Amino acid sequence: MLTKWMHTLIDNLVKSGVRDFVISPGSRSTPLAIAAFLHPSSRTHVLVDERSASFFALGLTRAEDWLRPVALICTSGTAATNYYSAITEANIFELPLIVLTADRPHELRGVGAPQAIDQVALYGKQVRHAFDLPLPEATALPYVRHVAERSVLLALTEPAGPVHINIPLREPLIPELDLLQTGHPVGRPIRHVTGHATAELVEILSIPRLLIVIGPQLSSADTQIILEYADRSRIPVLADPLSQGRQFSNDTVFAYYDTWLKETTIQYHVCPDHILRFGAMPTSKPYLLWSKEIPTTVVGHAGNWRDPQLQAHFLSGHPSQLKTIPCTEHDITYLEALQRAENTVETVFDSLDSGQLTEYNVVRALEGLTEGSLFVSNSMPIRDLDTFLPTGTPLRILANRGANGIDGILSSALGATYEAKNRYLLVGDLAFIHDINGLMMARTVPMTILLINNTGGGIFSFLPQHELDPDLFEPLFGTAQDLDFSHLAAGYGIAYQHISSIGELKVALQKNTMTTRILEIRTDRPENVRLHRLIWEQTNQALQEQFR
């Protein structure tokens, strides 16, 4: 019965659209791992570190432009607790993980049996649903099939998110192999059909001074629909890099708003009558502060409310509805005002020394890349990318912007860029250290890692904590590690290169590589703050003169 049980579960997951199974090795999960490994239509990935495995699976859910459910498999006990951070991110960022945790049988729960913890509802409110299967028996096979199919449906239904299936198993744990080598082809994941546009959406789109904002969690296809409509209607669009909007280059798409919104004297000139936002809240803090008092409508689904300012009006809808809405005339002077601000910042950026070895010039060096996917770490890397990445980039940009943590960044990057021809990661030293075991998987998934090493938590140098006495700031916030990354790379069998200039970085980025490599760029935290503030002074002055 164990064999039929495992085959029913895994085969129906595959039939429902699960192609990838990420396995954390263990004993109690033996039949699960074997069933997934032998299924003729599955693709398995074995990672010994459970936390790295969970973030790799998290990345795989968005390796393509649409979401695909990915299954995680682990043994009983604390192994399952190591998945919690990735499951939390999947919950907030709406990613369809199917978590399969092997468990002790019911008679060994709560009696001091080894490697046994309470796994029922282990992930609490972080999952869309939690199932605790019965022990394998013939009469419950239809229920196992139901759980497999329903789990994928729940994981993909908006708001998408993780589902937990807890699977108690008795010994012996070795299944028969013949049946497990048969099964269905990978099914097509569900795609939600959207309705026609509402009268309310049509009315909002007719507001003369309208601003469209596109944030994270949009597919390239949905973003293109929005931008094409905005271009025809001459509506300006602020494009967060994670919206994929910066892949497009036309005069209605804006990338440098994080900088021109810092200048308070021009905020009146760029203020719309209404904001229409698709996707999650953008990365930019200046946008967050500026937009707080502006009437805003968020288009999406109510299952995961994206309004940290608690002032937006919610409208159930989807970008595809724009296909049915005719274009209307808009105030061209408003678009021209934003273009003046954008061009002013662009002129200042163009005047900067592009050869100086700085953290923002690392971002600007990415403009020379022609194809691939770039994963960006939280903290300073995503902020510098948001500020300095122009429109027209060919790169697909990805990040973990749900809980915004720095754990699991390398493993997430390896999963999220898995299908890309060229893979890149922009990461700081602390985030990289958090997920150093991700380098085990990186040996087989070639990636270029741009490691910005400012020996500590660079973002805190921009925050009020930096005003503290250095004897307090450095041990609590600066947290310098001073590790030799060349030795770490050698220990994992990864290529390493110290980058001493932006010119050297650009040359390295143009080289094709079939192996993972670390390009370490060392910067100075205090100097990085000084240079950023100098740029803001220059852009603020230029904007004041332009809008005088």
Residue 165 and residue 221 in one domain: no
Residue 343 lies in a domain: no
Q: Which residues contact 58 (CB under 8 A, 6 or more apart)?
A: 70, 86, 89, 90, 95, 97, 400, 408, 411, 412, 415, 416
* CA distances from residue 371 to 393, 414, 424 in whole angstroms, order as listed: 9, 16, 10
Range of the domain at 146: 2-175
CATH code for the domain in which residue 356 is found: 3.40.50.970
pLDDT confidence tier of residue 510, bands split at 50, 70 and 90? very high
Residue 223 and residue 311 in one domain: yes
pLDDT in tens, 367-404: 989 899 999 999 899 999 999 999 999 999 999 999 88
In the chain, how many domains are there?
3
Tell me which of 169-173, 444-448, 477-481, 544-548 is least confident: 477-481
Query: For residue 427, how many other CB atoms are within 10 A of its CB?
Result: 26
Residue 167 and residue 235 in one domain: no
Residue 83 and residue 16 in one domain: yes
42-52 mean pLDDT: 97
Hey, which bits of 243-402 come out as E strands?
Answer: 253-254, 274-278, 296-300, 313-316, 373-376, 396-398
Q: Is 462 a residue whose pLDDT tops 80?
A: no
Residue 321 and residue 446 in one domain: no
Instruction: State the first-to-last Cα distance of the chain, in angstroms, to the nearest integer.
Output: 79
Residue 362 and residue 320 in one domain: no
φ, ψ at 158 (rounded to 5°)? -60, 130
Question: How many alpha carbons fall within 13 Å on the CB side of residue 202?
Answer: 8
Residue 132 lies in a domain: yes
Residue 362 and residue 294 in one domain: no
Q: What is the pLDDT of residue 193?
A: 57
Residue 310 and residue 361 in one domain: no
Residue 416 lies in a domain: yes
Residue 462 and residue 370 in one domain: yes
Residue 319 lies in a domain: yes
Residue 216 lies in a domain: yes
Residue 303 lies in a domain: yes
CB 394 within 8 A of CB 421: no
Q: Which amino acid, residue 334? A: Y
Q: Is 437 a residue whose pLDDT tops 60?
A: yes
Residue 218 and residue 273 in one domain: yes
Q: Is 367 exposed, middle or buried (0-12, 13-18, 19+ CB in 10 A)?
A: middle
Residue 544 lies in a domain: no
Residue 465 and residue 533 in one domain: yes
- Model confidence, pTM: 0.94
pLDDT in tens, 182-227: 999 999 887 765 667 788 999 999 999 999 999 998 999 999 999 9
* Final residue before a domain boundary, out of 269, 302, 337: 337
Kind plus residue range of the DSSP H or E element containing 103: strand 97-103
pLDDT in tens, 264-287: 989 999 999 999 999 999 999 999
35-49 mean pLDDT: 97
Residue 464 and residue 408 in one domain: yes
Q: Which residue is listed with tokens 């936390």?
A: 51
Q: What is the pLDDT of residue 195?
A: 67
* Final residue before a domain boundary, out of 312, 337, 362: 337
* Average model confidence (pLDDT) across the chain: 93
Q: What's 416-441 look like in SS3? A: HCCCCCCEEEEEEHHHHHHCHHHHHH
17-44 mean pLDDT: 97
* Final residue before a domain boundary, out of 175, 191, 210: 175
Tokens for 226? Answer: 């929005």
112-122 mean pLDDT: 90
418-433 mean pLDDT: 95
CATH code for the domain in which residue 313 is found: 3.40.50.1220
Q: What is the pLDDT of residue 479?
A: 78
Q: Cα separation of 384 and 396, whole Å?
A: 16
Q: What is the pLDDT of residue 154?
A: 94
pLDDT in tens, 143-174: 999 999 999 999 999 889 999 999 999 999 99
Residue 345 lies in a domain: no
Q: What is the pLDDT of residue 115?
A: 86
